[in-house]
């Protein structure tokens, strides 16, 4: 039975949530529970963001055959399980349906303004947020939550490889299936990259009867983790991020945990170099792992041909750093995404080189009425992480949590950011990487500390509600 959301409390700061993807709807649900007044602005005509196949907002990277890489139960929000009749690794259409069901169950649909793109966001002289919509309307808010995602703005190789390519080329963001956006049937196809999308696409196109030859280029050796090991899903021995991790995960050194995981993976699924792929040049879990049950079969069957990093483009040929060259008709660049906030002036908030150091991955200490939700690269699913972050923000907006001093936040954000980067291979992909259990455990510990601070301060509201909540068609002067 659907749950009636709590009425917005006019004594609380009015908040804007940008985006109704998996993170934005988590924020909307939590804010509804806390009575925080909010508008959730969604550019598309439906919720789900990246999981909506061919989303009309043009920002979805979902391809026709996409399935999740974390298991069903670990992907779910803490209080809304995925249906038990869903498979271990549901298809994107099932995940999109789950988001629709979540929004309807908690009575959130009427709180979301669909077909409402955000053109520009500015901070006013009196520290409010002025939001200009693509329609021309402008609104004022006491607080702002950014949940616009970070897998929608394609990142191409930088610097570009020398030379020119005369065949067809496109980014994995635009890949739909073997015939769209370009018919790869009976073509020599080069997939550049080794993330999850790269492996999915390479394995799909490499099957007999599709690509003539499928080449998979990678700049270094990466670990490959299967979806099943010893009859269990890959995350069977991890807890849901809403639960505290076991003691050994909290206290044993990362080097010891990684060594144990590496030995177990090598003993069960094997090492990549045993299958003809480059040997990893880093410990397991010091990069975002590539997940595939099929890659080793495709490589072992000759359907996917491993290649070294690209050295140069030579018309209809591609040269690789190992001295080999191949005839190539199509290049699919699976080279990741840029962290982009198109509505912010770069002088206000930006992430050059995907590098952005936020306190607890959520707050720039300069702006304590601005929160980022879902701006992490987790080793788990995003949904439970966004839920924890939204709860943190809601506790703050309602005066139940108090931030530490700004100088403490500044020091801690730099320390956390540098420590995190030191634990992972230095690439634009790993600048916002988190260990899920460690991150959410730390967030909950900070929440407990901040609640004690708030109690000592009399639970005063940190952000004064100064904006009158308008009706959906009411505007404010520029």
209-253 pLDDT tens trace = 999 999 999 999 999 999 998 889 988 888 888 888 887 777 777
- What sign has the CA pseudo-torsion 358, 359, 365, 369? positive
Which DSSP symbol is given to 218?
A: -
Which DSSP symbol is given to 186?
A: T
Report angle CA 288, 294, 295 to the nearest 5 degrees.
60
Q: Tell me: the pLDDT tens digits for 199-210?
A: 999 999 999 999
Long-range contacts of 66-73 (CB under 8 A, 24+ apart): 66/91, 66/92, 66/200, 67/91, 67/92, 68/92, 68/95, 68/381, 69/196, 69/227, 69/291, 70/234, 70/235, 70/380, 70/381, 71/233, 71/234, 71/235, 71/236, 73/240
Give the per-residue pLDDT at 471: 43
Report angle CA 437, 221, 374 to the nearest 5 degrees.
30
- What is the C-alpha to C-alpha distance for residues 182 and 174, in angstroms, rounded to an integer? 10
Domains observed in the chain: 15-153+337-456 (3.50.50.60), 156-226+269-333 (3.50.50.60)
Which tokens is 288 given?
């975002």
- What is the C-alpha to C-alpha distance for residues 201 and 203, in angstroms, rounded to an integer? 5
Cis peptide leading into residue 170 (ω within 30°):
no
- Give the containing element (helix H, strand E) for 419: helix 406-422
Q: Tell me: the pLDDT tens digits for 339-387?
A: 999 999 999 999 988 999 999 999 999 999 999 999 998 888 999 999 9
Among left, alpha and beta (phi > 0; psi -120 to 50; other), residue 117 is beta
Note the pTM of the prediction, 2 decimals: 0.94
Judge contact between 170 and 40, C-beta under 8 A.
no
- What is the C-alpha to C-alpha distance for residues 316 and 187, in angstroms, rounded to an integer? 12
Q: Could you tell me the CA-to-CA distances from 157 to 39, 393, 427 in Å, in that order?
A: 37, 36, 12
Give the per-residue pLDDT at 475: 36
Judge contact between 196 and 358, C-beta under 8 A.
no
- What is the C-alpha to C-alpha distance for residues 279 and 246, in angstroms, rounded to an integer? 31
Beta strands in 95-212 (DSSP E): 112-113, 118-123, 129-133, 138-141, 143-146, 153-154, 163-165, 168-171, 188-192
Q: Could you tell me the CA-to-CA distances from 117 to 80, 340, 467, 470 in Å, in that order?
A: 28, 15, 21, 18
Give the per-residue pLDDT at 259: 87
Q: Residue 268, SS3?
A: helix
- What sign has the CA pseudo-torsion 256, 262, 263, 264? positive
- C-alpha 160: how far from its chain's center? 25
pLDDT in tens, the chain (478 residues): 678 778 899 999 999 999 999 999 999 999 999 999 999 999 999 999 999 999 999 999 999 999 999 999 999 999 999 999 999 999 999 999 999 999 999 999 999 999 999 999 999 999 999 999 999 999 999 999 999 999 999 999 988 999 999 999 999 999 999 999 999 999 999 999 999 999 999 999 999 999 999 999 999 999 999 999 888 998 888 888 888 888 777 777 778 888 888 898 888 889 999 999 999 988 888 888 799 999 999 999 999 999 999 999 999 999 999 999 999 999 999 999 999 999 999 999 999 889 999 999 999 999 999 999 999 988 889 999 999 999 999 999 999 999 999 999 999 999 988 888 777 777 777 788 888 888 999 999 999 999 999 999 999 999 999 986 544 443 333 3
Give the per-residue pLDDT at 476: 35
- What is the C-alpha to C-alpha distance for residues 358 and 397, in angstroms, rounded to an integer? 18
Give the per-residue pLDDT at 357: 93
Give the per-residue pLDDT at 402: 98
- What is the C-alpha to C-alpha distance for residues 140 and 468, in angstroms, rounded to an integer? 9
Q: What per-residue string of b and e applies to 378-405 under the rule 16 or more CB within 10 Å gives b?
A: bbbbbbbbbbbbbbbbbbbbbbebbbee
Q: 26 Cβ partners below 8 Å, 6+ apart?
A: 77, 373, 374, 383, 386, 387, 390
Q: 95 Cβ partners below 8 Å, 6+ apart?
A: 48, 51, 68, 75
Which tokens is 257 given?
């945990």
- What is the C-alpha to C-alpha distance for residues 16 and 397, in angstroms, rounded to an integer? 12
- What is the C-alpha to C-alpha distance for residues 476 and 140, in angstroms, rounded to an integer? 7
Largest Cα separation within the chain, whole Å, is 71
Long-range contacts of 349-356 (CB under 8 A, 24+ apart): 351/431, 353/428, 353/431, 354/155, 354/428, 354/429, 354/431, 354/432, 355/428, 355/431, 356/431, 356/432
> Which one, of 417, 431, 304, 310, lies nearest residue 358 by Cα?
417
Q: 407 Cβ partners below 8 Å, 6+ apart?
A: none
Q: Tell me: the pLDDT tens digits for 412-441?
A: 999 988 888 777 777 777 788 888 888 999
């Amino acid at each position: 039975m659907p749950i009636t959301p709590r009425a917005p409390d006019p004594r609380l700061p009015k908040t804007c949530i940008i985006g109704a993807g998996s993170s934005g709807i988590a924020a909307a649900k939590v804010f509804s529970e806390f009575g925080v007044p909010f508008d959730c602005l969604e550019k598309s005509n439906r919720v789900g963001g990246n999981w909506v196949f061919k989303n009309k907002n043009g920002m979805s990277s979902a391809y026709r055959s996409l399935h999740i890489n974390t298991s069903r139960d670990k992907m779910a929000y803490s209080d809304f399980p995925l249906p038990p009749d869903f498979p271990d690794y549901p298809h994107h259409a099932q995940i999109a349906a789950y988001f629709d069901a979540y929004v309807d169950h908690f009575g959130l649909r009427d709180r979301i303004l669909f077909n409402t793109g955000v053109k520009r966001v500015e901070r006013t002289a009196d520290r409010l947020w002025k939001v200009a919509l693509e329609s021309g309307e402008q609104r004022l808010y006491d607080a702002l939550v950014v949940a616009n995602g970070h897998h929608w703005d394609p990142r191409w190789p930088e610097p570009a490889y020398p030379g020119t390519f005369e065949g067809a080329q496109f980014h994995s963001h635009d890949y739909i299936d073997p015939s769209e956006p370009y018919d790869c049937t009976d073509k020599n196809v080069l997939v550049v990259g080794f993330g999850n999308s790269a492996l999915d696409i390479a394995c799909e196109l490499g099957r007999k009867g599709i690509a003539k030859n499928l080449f998979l280029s990678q700049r270094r050796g990466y670990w490959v983790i299967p979806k099943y090991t010893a009859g269990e899903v890959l995350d069977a021995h991890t807890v849901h991020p809403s639960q505290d991790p076991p003691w050994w995960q909290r206290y044993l050194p990362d080097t010891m945990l990684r060594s144990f995981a590496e030995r177990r993976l090598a003993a069960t699924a094997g090492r990549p170099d045993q299958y003809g792929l480059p040997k990893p040049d880093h410990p397991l879990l010091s990069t975002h792992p590539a997940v595939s049950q099929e890659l080793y079969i495709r490589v072992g069957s000759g359907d996917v041909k491993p290649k070294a990093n690209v050295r140069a483009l030579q018309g209809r040929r591609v040269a690789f750093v190992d001295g080999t060259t191949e005839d190539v008709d199509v290049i699919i660049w699976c080279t990741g995404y840029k962290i982009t906030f198109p509505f912010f002036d770069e002088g206000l908030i930006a992430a050059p080189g995907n590098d952005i150091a936020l306190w607890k991955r959520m707050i720039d200490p300069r702006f304590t009425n601005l929160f980022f939700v879902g701006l992490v690269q987790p080793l788990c699913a995003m949904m439970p992480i966004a839920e924890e972050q939204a709860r943190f923000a809601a506790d703050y907006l309602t005066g139940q949590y108090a931030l530490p001093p700004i100088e403490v936040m500044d020091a801690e954000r730099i320390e956390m950011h540098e420590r995190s980067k030191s634990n992972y291979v230095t690439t634009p992909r790993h600048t916002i990487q988190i260990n899920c259990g460690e991150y959410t455990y730390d967030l909950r510990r900070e929440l407990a500390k901040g609640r004690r601070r708030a109690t000592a301060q009399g639970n005063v509201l940190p952000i004064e509600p100064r904006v009158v909540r308008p009706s959906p068609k009411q505007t404010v002067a520029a």
